[in-house]
């Protein structure tokens, strides 16, 4: 997939455009959530939608997340495609029961007769100086819930393309938006905006031969930076952007790891019980004899997300990634 | 700027935003549950409707006893009986038009059946061969909801969606007295009122949430009094008076269909049986209470009325009974056949399109089953 | 046994469980918010209390403007101002005895400060050096609760526990109009009423939940009308009338302390500032509305009253102003010092006893910080 | 720790006794939940407590899980030690926000000034013929939440001992009770009932030399059975009972794996994003050069929990475990 870079936009703008285009193309697409209408969302990601499509298509709901997701379930039962915004990661927790007990299971429960094409947009992760409850990385909860797709863009083009795909999907998608990339700018091609790999495919963002960094969402830019810095140490690092945690692209990931023989999984979420465990375990199961070193993980510490003034110590940064790369038993090679 | 610099006009009047709002009085329920049977209002009731209700009640009771029997025969994993609550179950189904939607809770298989769903399909969840047995779209009945009150926001969303589409569809959602304590109850009613969604909430207050009596569940004058807090009318009805429940629900459905918004109906009834066949109700309630309620049996109330008014004779009673027996016999017979089980179906409906991971796991199970069959074959072969 | 075999007594009376229950009338709020200032009731108010309230309101407003200023100077990450709501914030703090507990929501740092917590500690969350800055037990103030309405069940549990222990402690929990839509609001009020817990709920209805106006939040006649659905009294009060709020809250606290159970109080007020410094309120509301409310300013309402009654003169106003300025100056000065940060503290309070895993991670961070310092040292050394 | 086996009891009885003894020893211990009082719980685990200690100490709450846990938080703030029963695994989901945003974080939020010594008892797992929502294995959600202890007994003695420890702990403990072991009987010593290893320690339930099965809760008996059956195939399997998922006992687990060089993690929870990923990853990180084969996982499929008539296909059984053991690359040895 080649994208002719023509027009710089922020990730937030690409997301807005994705919803706008989806709403224009399909009258069953409805956006709903707290402050998504008149205000355009606290991150302005739904800006303009209520104006263009009316308040019935982009609705300010009462302040109750279970109610938002629960009514979205009913709307989907009647043939609509709700796109639900949870205002922040931690404020999706009240909707957990609806998500786990209904959204993820309704298709299976009814033997396919009642699919729920709901997109749950969750701004997630830290690095924005947010106070408590505004910086959680909750992807482990969603990954452990069969029946959900869990998708997260790291580039502007993917923000558009993956959100369009998520809204078009007949399955429920938890769409995790890395808050700190909302204002990241990139060039993309608005004429081929959906010209990205499908949900379920990982993408090699930087080819390399020494070792593979496997990451997603907010940590992709950090990994790319680390890969640049690693050159000075003589390491040519490959960087994979998973894009979709569920379904998981074993093929792309394992092909890369088999090539390099070494891998580090990088994410912001806490390490223990976080996504990295699953990823490292499945790589090891599949590529054991290609591994020169154990798959290592660089993750947030196993602590509640820190207050803003301390968050930099928690977030995986370039140095921590390079330290992990250094521990990939290079001496064994010689 | 500090306060001091802001001096000026000062208005010791009511706060500016305050306009006299909706008068709460019409939203409050009557002091006593509404009844028709045994009152003057009974004369106005349509004889045909009364007979239909009667036939359905008799069928409903028989359905309950048959399903309970099936648990003893190991044909159902569990059965939460609605014995004593048939008036609510049946009236709920009959108050709806074909295009309307019903949102049952786990106890409401009878309402589901009364709406036209095949009883065997309605019992799939409780038999345990799959989660939901019927096609929700075929009769516009949502799957039975086990997590309490979670179905209420679904009903609101569906009703709202229908209204947005311009369809005059109403959703009726059932919940128990216990379920009203859940946050989802609150959120659903609030969304419904704010959106003026065409939805009716029927609380079957049967006195208990498993072992917990109403007094430990709420301190409210009645559950119907919760309605005013959402800005919708609350109605209180004798839940064993099928005619009254039918009337109150029909009114609420009409009101919703006409754009009048949601209604909360509390039907005061009683769970005659234990919570489920697995429960021992003697641990938490006495016989006297149960007996008092048996004397207020929904079927007998209606039967008495019909007989008094000459709308039902022994032959009619017998006909209803026969019809119920036939239903029970067919149910028994069909439930005694083992359901067809396909382990591979476990993987078929998790996603619209299966994943590589599930394909792997499917293959694993397939191989296991083949190995199992081989072993069986060998053993049988060896035994011969 | 089928129905047919159960014939016998039949009782077309109200359902057996039905006893006339609590009369709802006393639970319903008045049609208009209760006011004292500008009415006859004002004569009965204790002059000392009025002066105390006044001094606190002036301080409170100054606290709000100072904290907002600190956001502009980068000294606070964010500040949700309670400008316009000072009467509620202050009255909430003053209505409590020392042994009572306050459960603030994220907007209520002013109530926390008015209760006696050091303003710098009250602002820790919003400065961002830690989550909660004060010792909750020192002043019996729970940490500021960001997830809306989640603090309400905490207040109920604490009040219930105190009652079980035989302590006559009351909990006062604050929540916004938006927060009333959350399931936790419902569950908390229900538990409180069922347990008859000594807790008072104060809803500051300031017209908005960020950008969402009350009309999109609820269709109820008033938020105070929700009380009857739980079986507790609902009270409606002018939230800009500090004397009225203080009186209503004090009554409710007394009632709770005496074993009378919980009360829901709705104070009608207005959020004069944007949601937080990061918000742009012009996107969703007009100036006229804000101006109307400015003319109903809580400080001016009280100041007018006090001046009229000869309880306050220019010197008194000036004294209050000076006191507020001193508080602001001290706050400014202390907030301008960088807080002490200890990255290692990230690991210290996750568990009572740290785990092997956290020890490992602590060591990792320690090593990183040492390496960082070394690099810094080298750079500085090199530069010299 | 040696336990003189003297008195057979079911796990349910041991749990009841643990609460009873804790309540007798400490007046601040309060039991609360749906139907825990007069009825004694739907599994009868709280049987007799209301009678002995009164309804104020063992309280039937209204039917609202967030309310139950939320009020327990308040009670703990005032110095009580609430023991909360969630009626079934899936019915703990409404309490998720309270658990994640408050229970797990209050100590850290207040710099240790406001600990919450709450025990959340959750009957979990399948194998009891339960209909939908009655057989979830939700431990992955709890493991991914820093600030919680996650404990699960597999033996009668541990049921007593671990529950006593959980109630005595100053930290919140999610205490997962394997439903299908409620009626499992075992001999234990009521005179030394707390004579078990502390929370945080794993225990070798069966020593072995060929490979290590790592498991917990409902899967322990299955693993022990598999180990017996494996003898016929010439494998001497070690079986480790984790007992506590958080904190995790790396020491015991790694010592075992280093000895045997091969490991299989067994649990009922879905595999993807489940506990096994974390466990396999951390073993690999720590014992890479001791591993003769990748750490394999035998877990529930990545599907919503099946209806009762199909659950046996989902649950890891002896054959599936032995198949995994067979895949541990034994040929590599020769
Ligand atoms: C969220 C949730 N919590 C707990 C349960 C377990 N449970 C099943 S039925 C029941 C009692 C329900 O009482 P009520 O709402 O009055 O309905 P009824 O059984 O009387 O029909 C409980 C607690 C559940 N199904 N869902
Ligand atoms: C559970 C939850 N959902 C969403 C939010 C994000 N949020 C913060 S403040 C706010 C509006 C609150 O409105 P209201 O309750 O009226 O209080 P006010 O801000 O007016 O004081 C929202 C939606 C939150 N903090 N918690
Ligand atoms: Mg009930
Ligand atoms: Mg507000």
d(CA A186, CA C241) in angstroms, rounded, equals: 53
d(CA B205, CA B239) in angstroms, rounded, equals: 8
Mutate to test the pocket of ligand 2, among A37, A67, A91 (most ligand atoms within 8 A of CB): A91
Inter-residue contact B149 to A97 (CB < 8 Å): no
Is the pLDDT score of C296 beyond 60? Answer: yes
ipTM score: 0.97
Surface of A (108-137) touching B: CB under 8 A: 108-115
**Cis ω for the linkage preceding A247 (within 30 of 0):** yes
**Given CB atoms, is C8 within the 8 Å cutoff of chain B?**
yes
Q: Which sign, positive or negative, has the C-alpha torsion A19, A24, A25, A29?
A: positive
Provide residues of B within 8 Å CB-CB of chain D: 77-78, 125-131, 146-148, 178-179, 181-184, 209-212, 216-218, 283-284, 339, 341, 343, 345-347, 350, 355, 357-358, 361, 364-365, 368-369, 371-372
pLDDT digits (tens, 9 = 90+) for D27-45: 999 999 999 999 999 999 9
Closest chain B residue by Cα to residue D130: B77
D partners (3+ CB pairs within 8 A) are A, B, C
Inter-residue contact A285 to A254 (CB < 8 Å): no
Chain D residue numbers with beta carbons less than 8 Å from the beta carbon of B364 are 320
Strand-pairing partners, residue D83, are D31, D119
Is the pLDDT score of C4 beyond 50? Answer: no
d(CA B343, CA B331) in angstroms, rounded, equals: 25
Other CB atoms within 10 Å distance of the CB of residue B288: 9
Inter-residue contact B228 to C221 (CB < 8 Å): yes
Mean pLDDT score across all residues of chain B: 94
Q: Which sign, positive or negative, has the C-alpha torsion C338, C340, C344, C347?
A: negative
Do C228 and B220 lie within an 8 Å CB cutoff?
yes
pLDDT digits (tens, 9 = 90+) for D92-102: 999 999 999 99
Do D63 and B130 lie within an 8 Å CB cutoff?
no
Q: What is the pLDDT along chain A (334 residues), one digit of tens a residue?
A: 444 456 789 999 999 999 999 999 999 999 999 999 999 999 999 999 999 999 999 999 999 999 999 999 999 999 999 999 999 999 999 999 999 999 999 999 999 999 999 999 999 999 999 999 999 999 999 999 999 999 999 999 999 999 999 999 999 999 999 999 999 999 887 777 768 999 999 999 999 999 999 999 999 999 999 999 999 999 999 999 999 999 999 999 999 999 999 999 999 999 999 999 999 999 999 999 999 999 999 999 999 999 999 999 999 999 999 999 999 999 755 4
Do C238 and B14 lie within an 8 Å CB cutoff?
yes
Strand-pairing partners, residue A124, are A178
- Strands C263-268 and C234-238, by their bridges, are parallel
For chains C and D, CB pairs below 8 A equal 139
Chain C residue numbers with beta carbons less than 8 Å from the beta carbon of D83 are none
3-state secondary structure (DSSP) of residue A151: strand
Take atom 3 of ligand 1 and give the residue whose Cα is closest. Answer: D91
Mutate to test the pocket of ligand 1, among B88, B210, B270 (most ligand atoms within 8 A of CB): B210
Do C347 and A63 lie within an 8 Å CB cutoff?
no
Chain B residue numbers with beta carbons less than 8 Å from the beta carbon of D313 are 343, 346, 365, 368-369
CA-atom Rg of chain B in angstroms? 25
Lowest mean pLDDT segment, chosen from B223-232, C44-53, D186-195: D186-195
Q: Verify whether ligand 2 is closer than 6 Å to residue C224 (CB atom).
A: no
For chains B and C, CB pairs below 8 A equal 243
Residue in B11, B31, B305 nearest the CB of C296: B11
Inter-residue contact B250 to B57 (CB < 8 Å): no
Confidence band of C380 (pLDDT split at 50, 70, 90):
low
Q: Map chain B to HEC letters.
A: CCHHHHCCCCCCCCCCCCCCCCCCHHHCCCCCCECCCCCHHHHHCCHHHHHHHHHHHHHHHHHHHHHHHHHHCCCCCCCCCCCCCHHHHHHHHHCCCCCCEEECECCCHHHHHHCCCCHHHHCHHHHCCCCCCCCHHHHCECCCECCCCCHHHHHHHHHHHHHHHCCCCCEEEEEECHHHHCHHHHHHHHHHHHHCCCEEEEEEECCEECCEEHHHHCCCCCHHHHHHHCCCCEEEEECCCHHHHHHHHHHHHHHHHCCCCCEEEEEECCCCCCCCCCCCHHHCCCHHHHHHHHCCCHHHHHHHHHHHCCCCCHHHHHHHHHHHHHHHHHHHHHHCCCCCCCHHHHHCCCCCCCCHHHHHHHHHHHHHHHHHHHHHHHHHHHHC
Do C341 and A309 lie within an 8 Å CB cutoff?
yes
Do D131 and B283 lie within an 8 Å CB cutoff?
no
Q: Which sign, positive or negative, has the C-alpha torsion D197, D202, D205, D210?
A: negative
d(CA D294, CA A29) in angstroms, rounded, equals: 46
pLDDT digits (tens, 9 = 90+) for D263-313: 999 999 999 999 999 999 999 999 999 999 999 999 999 999 999 999 999
Q: Catalytic residue among A30, A102, A133, A134, which? A: A134
Give residues with Cβ within 8 angstroms of C288, minimum separation 6: none
Q: Which sign, positive or negative, has the C-alpha torsion A130, A131, A133, A136?
A: positive
**Which residues have C-beta atoms less than 6 Å from ligand 1?**
B 107, 146-148, 176-179, 206, 208-210, 271, 275; D 34, 63, 87, 91, 94
**Given CB atoms, is D289 within the 8 Å cutoff of chain C?**
no
pLDDT digits (tens, 9 = 90+) for C202-248: 999 999 999 999 999 999 999 999 999 999 999 999 999 999 999 99
Inter-residue contact B142 to B103 (CB < 8 Å): yes
pTM for this predicted structure = 0.97
Nearest Cα of chain C lies from the Cα of A65 at a distance, in angstroms, of 8
Nearest Cα of chain C lies from the Cα of D117 at a distance, in angstroms, of 10
For residue B8, the model assigns a pLDDT of 47
Q: From the alpha carbon of C148, which atom of ligand 2 is closest?
A: 26
Closest chain C residue by Cα to residue A34: C212
Confidence band of D242 (pLDDT split at 50, 70, 90):
very high
User: Which among A35, B13, B6, B20 is positioned nearest to C291, based on CA atoms?
Assistant: B6
Note the residue count of chain A. 334
CA-atom Rg of chain D in angstroms? 20
Other CB atoms within 10 Å distance of the CB of residue B370: 10
Nearest Cα of chain B lies from the Cα of D326 at a distance, in angstroms, of 14
Chain C residue numbers with beta carbons less than 8 Å from the beta carbon of B35 are 12, 14
Confidence band of C124 (pLDDT split at 50, 70, 90):
very high
Provide residues of C within 8 Å CB-CB of chain A: 77-78, 125-131, 146-148, 178-179, 181-184, 209-212, 216-218, 283-284, 339, 341, 343, 345-347, 350, 355, 357-358, 361, 364-365, 368-369, 371-372
CA D334 to chain centre: 38
Give how far Cα A50 sits from Cα of A16, A46, A47, D75, Å. 12, 8, 8, 44
Torsions phi, psi for A277 (to 5 deg): -60, -50
Closest chain D residue by Cα to residue C146: D101
Tokens of D314: 């989902």
Mutate to test the pocket of ligand 1, among B78, B112, B178 (most ligand atoms within 8 A of CB): B178
For chains A and C, CB pairs below 8 A equal 114
Surface of D (157-186) touching A: CB under 8 A: none
Closest chain B residue by Cα to residue A173: B351
Take atom 26 of ligand 1 and give the residue whose Cα is closest. Answer: B147
Confidence band of D73 (pLDDT split at 50, 70, 90):
very high
d(CA B314, CA D171) in angstroms, rounded, equals: 69
pLDDT, mean of residues B222-240: 97
Is the pLDDT score of C9 beyond 90? Answer: no
For residue B384, the model assigns a pLDDT of 43
Closest chain C residue by Cα to residue D112: C349
d(CA A222, CA A325) in angstroms, rounded, equals: 14
d(CA A119, CA A72) in angstroms, rounded, equals: 10
Do A75 and B352 lie within an 8 Å CB cutoff?
no
């Amino acid at each position: 997939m080649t994208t002719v870079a023509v027009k710089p936009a922020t990730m937030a703008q690409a997301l807005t455009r994705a919803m706008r285009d989806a709403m224009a193309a399909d009258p069953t697409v409805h956006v709903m959530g707290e402050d998504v209408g008149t205000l355009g969302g606290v991150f302005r990601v739904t800006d303009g939608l209520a104006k263009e499509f009316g308040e019935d298509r982009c609705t300010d709901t009462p302040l109750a997340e279970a109610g938002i997701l629960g009514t979205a379930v009913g709307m989907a039962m009647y043939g609509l495609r709700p796109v639900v915004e949870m205002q922040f990661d931690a404020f999706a927790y009240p909707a957990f029961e609806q998500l786990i007990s209904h959204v993820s299971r309704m298709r299976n429960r009814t033997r396919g007769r009642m699919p729920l094409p709901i997109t749950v947009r969750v701004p997630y992760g830290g690095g924005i100086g947010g106070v408590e409850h505004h910086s959680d990385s909750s992807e482990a909860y969603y990954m452990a819930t069969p029946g959900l797709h869990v998708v997260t863009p790291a580039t502007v083009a993917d923000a558009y393309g993956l959100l369009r795909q998520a809204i078009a999907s007949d399955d429920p998608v938890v769409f995790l938006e890395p808050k700190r990339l909302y204002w990241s700018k990139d060039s993309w091609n608005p004429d081929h905006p959906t010209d990205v790999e499908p949900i379920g495919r990982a993408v090699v963002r930087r080819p390399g031969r020494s070792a593979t960094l496997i990451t997603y969402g907010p940590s992709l830019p950090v990994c790319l930076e680390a890969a640049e810095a690693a050159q000075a140490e003589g390491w040519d690092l490959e960087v994979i952007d998973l894009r979709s945690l569920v379904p998981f692209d074993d093929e792309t990931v394992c092909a890369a790891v088999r090539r390099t023989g070494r891998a580090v999984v990088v994410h912001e979420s806490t390490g223990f019980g976080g996504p990295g465990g699953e990823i490292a375990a499945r790589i090891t199961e599949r590529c054991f004899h290609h591994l020169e070193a154990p798959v290592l993980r660089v993750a947030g510490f196993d602590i509640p997300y820190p207050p803003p003034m301390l968050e930099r110590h928690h977030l995986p940064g370039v140095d921590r990634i390079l330290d992990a790369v250094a521990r990939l038993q290079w001496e064994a090679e010689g | 700027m500090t306060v001091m610099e802001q001096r000026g006009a000062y208005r010791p009047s009511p706060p500016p935003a305050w306009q006299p709002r909706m008068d709460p009085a019409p939203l409050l329920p009557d002091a006593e549950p509404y009844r028709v049977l045994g009152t003057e209002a009974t004369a106005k009731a349509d004889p045909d409707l009364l007979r239909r209700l009667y036939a359905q009640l008799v069928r409903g009771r028989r359905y309950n006893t048959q399903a309970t029997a099936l648990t003893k025969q190991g044909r159902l994993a569990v059965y939460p009986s609605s014995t004593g609550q048939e008036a609510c179950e049946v009236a709920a189904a009959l108050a709806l038009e074909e295009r309307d939607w019903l949102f049952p809770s786990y106890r409401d298989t009878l309402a589901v059946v009364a709406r036209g769903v095949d009883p065997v399909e309605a019992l799939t969840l409780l038999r345990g061969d799959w989660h939901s047995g019927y096609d929700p779209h075929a009769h516009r009945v949502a799957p039975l909801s086990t997590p309490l009150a979670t179905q209420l926001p679904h009903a609101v969303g569906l009703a709202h969606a229908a209204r947005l589409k311009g369809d005059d569809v109403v959703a009726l959602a059932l919940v128990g007295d216990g379920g009203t304590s859940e946050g989802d109850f609150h959120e659903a009613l609030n969304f419904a009122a704010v959106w003026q969604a065409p939805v009716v909430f029927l609380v079957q207050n049967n006195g208990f949430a498993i072992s917990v009596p109403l007094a430990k569940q709420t301190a409210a004058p009645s559950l119907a009094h919760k309605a005013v807090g959402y800005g919708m009318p609350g109605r209180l009805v004798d839940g064993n008076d099928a005619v009254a429940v039918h009337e109150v629900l029909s009114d609420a459905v009409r009101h919703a269909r006409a754009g009048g918004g949601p209604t909360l109906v509390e039907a005061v009834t009683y769970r005659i049986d234990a919570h489920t066949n697995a429960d021992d109700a003697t641990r938490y309630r006495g016989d006297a209470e149960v007996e008092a309620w048996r004397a207020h049996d929904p079927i007998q109330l209606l039967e008495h009325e019909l007989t008094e008014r000459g709308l039902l004779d022994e032959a009619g009673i017998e006909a209803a009974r026969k019809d119920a027996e036939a239903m029970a016999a067919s149910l028994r017979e069909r439930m005694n056949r083992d359901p067809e089980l396909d382990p591979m179906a476990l993987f078929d409906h998790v996603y619209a399109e299966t994943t590589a991971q599930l394909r792997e796991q499917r293959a694993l199970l397939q191989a296991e089953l083949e190995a199992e069959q081989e072993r069986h074959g060998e053993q049988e072969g060896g035994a011969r």
